[in-house]
């Protein structure tokens, strides 16, 4: 089974700062890595698909990169509304897996 490990677990950031979250897979998953944003008491929302593909309606400050085992979610110029927990998810092979989440707090 593939295990996804995110880092850091928690990040406190000032507005307009750049945020970088990494997700490492225990084996190569190609580009089958997706990112979600979950705000308190809300369902997860798809942010980035297949490592770097943008999603309609998602602000352009969100971007993704990587392939194989190492992936990155970048939030350029953080805004207050970006306070949330971010999860990566692999769909390369069953069983699907999620990372443990990275909570982003606004200072």
Partner 1 sequence: QVTLRESGPALVKPTQTLTLTCTFSGFSLSTSGMCVSWVRQPPGKALEWLALIDWDDDKYYSTSLKTRLTISKDTSKNQVVLTMTNMDPVDTATYYCARMGNWGPFDYWGQGTLVTVSS
Q: Which residues would be at the binding site for partner 1 (CB under 8 A)?
A: 1, 32, 34, 36, 38, 43-46, 49-50, 87, 89, 91, 94-101
Nearest distance from C-beta of residue 16 to partner 1, angstroms: 28
* Minimum CB distance to partner 1 smaller for 1 or for 81: 1
Closest C-alpha among 70, 88, 57, 74 to residue 11: 74
Nearest distance from C-beta of residue 15 to partner 1, angstroms: 25
The alpha carbon torsion through 25, 28, 31, 36 (nearest 10 deg) reads -20
């Amino acid at each position: 089974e593939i295990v996804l490990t995110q880092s850091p677990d928690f990040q406190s950031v000032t507005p307009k700062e750049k945020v970088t979250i990494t997700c490492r897979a225990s084996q190569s998953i190609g580009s089958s890595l997706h990112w979600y944003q979950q705000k308190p008491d809300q369902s997860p929302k798809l942010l980035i698909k297949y490592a770097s593909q943008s999603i309609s309606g998602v602000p352009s400050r969100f971007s993704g990169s990587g392939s194989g085992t190492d992936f990155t979610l970048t939030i350029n110029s953080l805004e207050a509304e970006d306070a949330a927990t971010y999860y990566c998810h692999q769909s390369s092979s069953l069983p699907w897996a999620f990372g443990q989440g990275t909570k982003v707090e606004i200072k």
